[in-house]
């Protein structure tokens, strides 16, 4: 009996303890919620605007953002112990706002970043001389070193994944940031670590002034001219024209235009090249702006390029490359060999601000002459050909030569 009473008391105490634990848990949860709400109110202010309402009203959204930033700044001024760089705060605030568009091609650039961008577009900058891309894992990969560049001389190879720059981790970092870390003053050195075939390879490379030549050309067998376009940066249309005329003088009857790994550039340069190939008046490009307005770009000149044409593309041919290949394919001026292109079918405008910084903003989508969509889709080749990487045979180029014989 005594044991039964003890057991009964233990059960009562256990129940009491459980009730207390539940009450304590509820109290802690309520207290935590109150503290959290006070914390939120302290930082963000007591705005009664509904989020959905704000999202639908840009003017109210701007007001709320301003109030929120002011509240943050009040707290920073009161509590933050570090130094404040006002210009950096302004730049990063604008950058974050543009990033909120969730558009991979729209961006804000400071005056320095914009000047570096222009220098690269003109084919003049100080660095090590590599073309880069972001691979499927989100890491920066060397597309290829520029011929004769410090990178090529040091032994950097296509496919190398850049993991460290000056011992700073670059895994998952935006390619523009990686590029800015690599560039620097002429004569200085940069340390780069890459992953190649699951092994780390270190380089210490001296930065030099890099002159980028957008076009390479050569005569192939059977009077076939070969022109490779690495980019559509400023001046590449003139380089293309000079290369073609030189090949023609050497006896070229037909040509191969190689756009593999060409990630794009200036649309105006691309259309100037299309003008050299398409009959006057042919539609080259259709653009649609934010309001749904369509604009048709047509060839403005009589063509100078003669003979048959084959265009080479791959999965890294993007933007202006896709404009050119689609224009030639759909106007029946070229056959296309390789792999389906990347699928970037939107155009950005550059809006320069008073302090020299710029907003690069996606303002229109482009379509093929037959109004087929390119964005997120790409351009299909007439002949889908895989490279024979294992045996180091350019099967795509071989197919192009076969078609022109």
Active-site residue numbers? Answer: 319, 330, 344
- 3-state class (DSSP) for residue 147: coil
DSSP bridge partners of 224: 220, 254
Spatial neighbors of 143 by CB under 8 A, at least 6 apart, are: 130, 131, 132, 133, 158, 261, 263, 316
Question: 159, 191 in Cβ contact below 8 A?
Answer: no
What backbone phi and psi angles, to 5 degrees, belong to 391?
A: -100, 5
Place of tokens 């060409």: 262
Enter the DSSP assignment of 393. B
Q: Are strands 199-206 and 335-338 parallel, antiparallel or unpaired?
A: unpaired
- How far, in Å, CA of 216 to CA of 240, rounded? 9
Question: What's the token pair of residue 282?
Answer: 């042919």
DSSP 187-238: T-EEEEEEEETTEEEEEEEE-EEEE---EEEEEEGGGEEEEEE--B-TTHHH
85: its two tokens: 């760089």
Lookup: tokens for 389: 């990487």
Q: What share of the chain is helix, strand, coil (3-state, %, to 5)?
A: 40, 25, 35
211 DSSP β-pair partners? 124
Q: How many residues does the chain have?
A: 405
Tokens 């802690």 -> residue: 28
Cα separation, 253 vs 49, in Å, equals 70
> What is the H or E stretch that residue 78 is in?
helix 58-79
Residue in the structure block whose two tokens are 């980019």:
231
Take residue 234 and report the two structure tokens written for it. 């400023």
Q: Which residues contact 331 (CB under 8 A, 6 or more apart)?
A: 278, 279, 282, 283, 284, 369
């Amino acid at each position: 009996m005594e044991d039964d009473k003890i057991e009964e008391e233990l059960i009562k105490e256990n129940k009491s303890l459980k009730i207390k634990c539940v009450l304590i848990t509820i109290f802690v949860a309520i207290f935590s919620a109150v503290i959290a709400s006070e914390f939120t109110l302290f930082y963000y202010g007591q705005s009664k605007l509904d989020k959905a309402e704000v999202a639908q009203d840009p003017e109210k959204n701007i007001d709320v953002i301003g109030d929120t930033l002011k509240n943050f700044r009040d707290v920073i001024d009161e509590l933050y112990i570090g130094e404040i760089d006002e210009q950096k705060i302004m730049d990063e605030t604008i950058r974050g706002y543009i990033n909120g568009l969730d558009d991979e091609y729209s961006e804000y650039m400071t005056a320095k970043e914009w000047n570096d961008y222009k220098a690269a577009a003109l084919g003049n900058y100080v660095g090590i001389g590599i073309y880069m891309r972001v691979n499927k894992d989100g890491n920066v990969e060397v597309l290829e070193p520029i011929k004769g560049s410090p990178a090529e001389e040091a032994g950097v190879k296509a496919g190398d994944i850049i993991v460290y720059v000056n011992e700073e981790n670059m895994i998952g970092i935006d390619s523009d940031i990686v590029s800015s870390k690599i560039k620097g003053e002429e004569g200085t050195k940069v340390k780069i670590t890459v992953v190649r075939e699951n092994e780390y390879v270190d380089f210490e490379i001296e930065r030099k002034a890099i002159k980028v030549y957008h076009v390479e050309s050569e005569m192939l067998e059977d009077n076939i001219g070969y022109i490779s376009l690495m980019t559509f940066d400023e001046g590449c249309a003139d380089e293309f024209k000079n290369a073609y005329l030189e090949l023609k003088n050497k006896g070229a009857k037909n040509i191969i235009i190689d756009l593999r790994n060409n990630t794009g550039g200036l649309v105006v340069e691309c259309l100037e090249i299309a003008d050299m190939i398409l009959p006057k008046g042919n539609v080259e490009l259709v653009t649609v702006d934010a309001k749904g307005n369509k604009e048709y770009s047509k060839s403005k000149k009589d063509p100078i390029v003669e003979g048959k044409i084959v265009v080479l593309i791959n999965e890294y041919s993007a933007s202006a490359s896709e404009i050119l290949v689609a224009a030639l394919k759909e106007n029946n001026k070229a056959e296309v060999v390789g792999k389906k292109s990347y699928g970037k079918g939107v155009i950005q405008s550059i809006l320069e601000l008073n302090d020299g910084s710029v907003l690069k903003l996606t303002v229109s989508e482009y379509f093929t002459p037959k109004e087929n969509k390119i964005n997120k889709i790409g351009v299909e080749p007439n002949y889908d050909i895989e490279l024979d990487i294992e045996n180091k045979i350019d099967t795509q180029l071989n197919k192009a030569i076969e078609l022109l014989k």
